[in-house]
Structure 1
Amino acid sequence: MALGALLAGGAAAQEISAPNLSYRTGPFAATGIPVMNGQIDYFTMLNERDGGIGGVKINFYECETGYNTEKGVECYEKTKGDAVVTQPWSTGITLQVLPKSNVDEIPILAPGYGFSAMADGSVFKWAFNLPSSYWDAASMILKGIGGEDMSELSGKKIAFLHLDHPFGKEPLPYLEKKAEDIGFELVPIPVGLKEMQNQSAQWLQIRRERPDYVIMWGWGAMNIGALTEAVKTRYPMDQFVGVWWSGHSDDLQVVGADGAGYRSISFNAPVSDAQVMADIQTHVADKGLTESDEEQRSEVFYQRGLVMSAALAEAIAAAQEEFGTGEINAEQLRWGLENIDLTEERIAELGMTGMVAPFSTSCSNHTGHSGGWLLEWDGEQFVKASDHLMADADELAEMEVAAAKEYADANAPWPTQECDG
């Protein structure tokens, strides 16, 4: 109320510029499009229903990268002039933009992707990978298949089928550490960008290795290639588990009932009767303001886009309240991103009960570590197949601090900030 009164009595704010470095074209378009639709639809809903956030419209626009790192950097340079945030939408682009963030002082928001050590806010002042990182994902997957202490994995063999790209290599340090600690054999199997749709060589290796589990770090066309090969080779689907970018309904629809039992970890869960979905229908879909359709809106990836934008919206609102202005700048949004507090009560107020677990961020914690669920393909759709899983926070914190220090030392002088919490 105080913020509303302040805005009403002051100069009229124009808009908040929040570019998204999207990819609706190229080999990853099929999986990028639904998430991008969910992201932009959420802000369209806020603009239509509430007049924006704090009385200020959000200009959430896109710059197309095709998931190409060079184009992504070009988009970053093109959009940074009026941006309060940048969303690189590729681990490769994120790594390229990361050093620039200290100079340009624009926060990087990489929800559920990017460099896992960005969780250490004392080192990565301008980078955020909330609500969970790739190391979180790997930890939750191992707990999901090996029990809370992962001891059931001792003596097992795990094939790690991954895109041969920074994204696919990101969880390797954690998986290698756990393989040594627990005593399972890890078999990394890379998939090149040109091999995504023809993985016969990789699945020949899997047939030879006969692993107890296959963990997939796939994206885009790689997912369909892997799923079809798994069906063809009769690999047990209940031993096949993917990261959250390998849990797209459209990919599984290609194999249909043959894919039943396949699971993926996810920091969001689909809840089609959530209030936010009704609001999207009323204020966006019914007005013809979306590129999505009813089926897409019911699926995991579209709703993941909603969750991502809701977190950004919460950061914007927190910054507006803290600084007493509607048209916040990048530095103020950075503070907002460090002060997200998504409680159960707040999630319910947003109409998102069950769609995401509570999490909060701070100066030192730029990830939030929300945890997630294993979702299982039942032949027609993804359904929850586990209780809420949490990564091993203490163990990951040690790795995050060490990796962040290594990065800062390698890129010295690297500015840091003092954090109390």
Structure 2
Amino acid sequence: MMTFTGRIAAAAALATLMGTTAMAEGLATPNLAYRTGPFAATGIPLMNGQADYMSMLNARDGGIGGMMVDFSECETGYSTEKGAECYEKTKGSALVTQPWSTGITLQVLPKTNIDKIPILAPGYGFSPMGDGKVFQWAFNTPLSYWDGASIILKYLQDMGDLSGKKVAFLHLDHPFGKEPLPYLEMKAESLGFELLPIPVGLKEMQNQSAQWLQIRRERPDYVIMWGWGAMNAGAITEAVKTKFPMDNMLGVWWAGHDADLKLVGEDGKGYKSVSWSFPNMDAPVMADIKSLVIDAGKSQTTPEEMEGVFYSRGLIISAILAEGITVAQEHAGTADITPSDLRWGLENLNFTEARIDELGLTGMVPPFSTSCSNHTGHSGGWMLEWDGAKFVKASDLIMPDSEAISELETAKAQEYAEENAPWPVNEDCQM
């Protein structure tokens, strides 16, 4: 692994080779943002974190490999239709597409084999995308939704035998919310618990009285919440109102937004959310962002938002993309990489503890690595708990059930390929 100093020297050498014309063109990494619409409350801090990390690289390092990063946004409002329009609008010069919705991801996924532009969907999208042999251009590093469901169940198993228990699955009635069902259904059968799916329609997100009436009637032992945006605040306030024990309510990482819990404060104490990122204000990268971006007036964030889980997750997402670009540049021997080069870079990520420290991200993301066959990384995650004022780590790193998930990935990826035949498969990938 090249040292940090070596990487900087290599970047400088690449910049010299490419000259000023390439630097002016920059690296096009469009973001299909959602700062408006029903999910804006979660989108804004995520987009701010993403943008601020790239702004920091531009200000501190002159971009990546000597080329400035063009991190333009195309607003989708989380609409699948608008997302598809944004993809078509930006794909001409793009190194990557960041769809920011499972629905948009599914819409764009078949186009990747034709357009040959990588999809980067960190911690979201279609879980079988982890099978890189079938989904050659799609990446959901560092964790899939099946990984998240696995970690939650492992955490619950540590609290006691799940056999005979009733687990309510409160989820957005949207492709995102339905993603973990194949894994949860499989584990309910093998572990002997009753799975109770409770969908929340897009128009019901802020008024979930019917869903919580069902929860009061069914009296589940646990509620797993697969929410996003306004659904999270609606569910948490209803849980408090109905006096559901918050210790027994656990959410996916998109249901662990500080602002949602601050609505209920102390009453939300004990609520948990699995996470593959964690805010660490003492991490070196935060000082660089503050001095070069925040204090320089180049950010839309606020001091309070900057301390939250979602802002730091946005930073991690851009750090994953930036590292993929760096690895691709080193492999290609040029800073002016192609989408195919970036695909190679994203297939060869190696976020070791040492590399995480070199990037100034200490304590903010678990170690993980990818390969041509493993486009997820399956990093493991922490359980975060609301202490009444903020989220704190409530567990050590919990690793997902990779063997069972891998088998499910292979089966569902093959099923997708057959349903969408002819579908090219990377037969050369053996890793």
Could you tell me whether the CA contact under 8 Å between 1:87 and 1:110 is conserved in 2?
Answer: yes
Correspondent of 2:224 among 215, 219, 239: 215
TM-score by length of 1: 0.98
1:47 aligns with 2:58: yes
Alignment check: 8 A CA contact 1:151 1:182 kept: no
Q: Which residue of 1 aligns with 2:6?
A: none
Question: How far off its partner does 1:3 sit?
Answer: 4.8
CA 1:262–1:2 in structure 2 vs 1: closer, same or farther (change >3 Å)?
Answer: closer
Q: Percent of pairs identical after alignment?
A: 68
1:170-185 equivalences in 2 (<5 Å):
170-185=179-194
For residue 123 of structure 2, what is the aligned residue in structure 1?
112
Any runs of at least 4 consecutive aligned residues in structure 1 with deviations exceeding 4 A, and if so which? none
Pick one of 7, 12, 15 that aligns with 1:7.
15
CA distance in 2, matches of 1:95, 1:65: 15
Give 1:169 shift.
0.2
Q: Secondary structure at the match of 2:168?
A: strand
Offset at 1:178?
0.3
The alignment partner of 2:264 has SS state of helix
Assess if the C-alpha contact under 8 Å between 1:34 and 1:301 holds in 2.
yes
Look up the match of 2:78: 67
Q: Which residue among 272, 278, 286 is the counterpart of 1:263?
A: 272
Aligned ranges 1:183-332 → 2 under 5 Å: 183-332=192-341
| In the alignment, structure 1 residue 28 sits paired with structure 2 residue 50 | no
Distance in 1, matches of 2:60 and 2:129, equals: 34
Taking the TM superposition and a 5 Å limit, the aligned residue runs for 1:405-416 are 405-416=414-425
Q: 1:270: how far off?
A: 1.5
CA–CA distance in structure 2, aligned partners of residues 408 and 234 of structure 1: 46
Per-residue CA shift, 1:324-377, capped at 9, x if unaligned?
Answer: 111111111111110111110000011111100111110000001111100000
Shift of residue 10, structure 1, vs aligned partner: 3.8
2:82 counterpart letter in structure 1: K
Question: Residues of 2 paired with 1:389 and 1:156: CA distance?
Answer: 22
Q: How many residues align?
A: 419
Stretches of structure 2 lacking an aligned partner (at least 5 in a row) = 1-8
345-354 or 10-19: bigger deviation: 10-19
In the alignment, which residue of structure 1 is the partner of 2:429? Answer: 419
Matched residue type, 2:16: A
Q: Which amino acid aligns with 1:409?
A: E
Q: Secondary structure at the match of 1:153?
A: coil
| C-alpha distance in structure 1 between counterparts of 2:242 and 2:281, whole Å | 34
Q: 1:9 to 1:70 in 2, by over 3 A?
A: closer
**Any conservation in 1 of the 2:97–2:117 contact (CA below 8 Å)?**
yes
Supply the AA of the counterpart residue of 2:34: Y
The letter for the 2-side match of 1:334 is R
Which residue does 1:159 correspond to in 2?
168
Quote the RMSD (CA, aligned, Å). 0.9
Taking the TM superposition and a 5 Å limit, the aligned residue runs for 1:96-135 are 96-135=107-146
| Structure 2 equivalent of residue 136 of structure 1 | 147
Cα displacement string for residues 227-276 of structure 1 (whole angstroms, at most 9, x for unaligned residues) = 11101100000000000000000000111110000000000112111111
Q: Distance in 1 between matches of 2:11 and 2:267?
A: 54
Could you tell me how far apart the structure 1 residues matched to 2:17 and 2:192 are?
65
* Counterparts in 2 of 1:329 and 1:255: CA distance versus 1, 3 Å: same
* Partner SS for 1:399: helix
1:159 is paired with a residue whose SS is: strand
- Partners of 1:241 and 1:10 in 2: how far apart? 50
Contact 2:166 2:196 in 1 (8 A): yes
Q: Is this contact kept in 2: 1:108–1:127, CA < 8 A? A: yes
In 1: Cα distance, 2:309 partner to 2:119 partner:
24
TM-score (norm 2): 0.96
Gaps of 5+ in 1: none
> Which deviates the most, 323-332 or 2-11?
2-11
Q: Distance in 2 between matches of 1:197 and 1:62?
A: 28
Contact 1:3 1:325 survives alignment (8 Å)? no
Letter in 1 for 2:41: A
The 1-side partners of 2:372 and 2:406 are apart by 14
* Secondary structure in structure 1 of the residue aligned to 2:263: helix
Give, in angstroms, the shift of residue 2 of structure 1: 4.1
Give the letter for the 1:386 counterpart. S
* Residue type of the alignment partner of 1:219: W
In the alignment, which residue of structure 1 is the partner of 2:105?
94
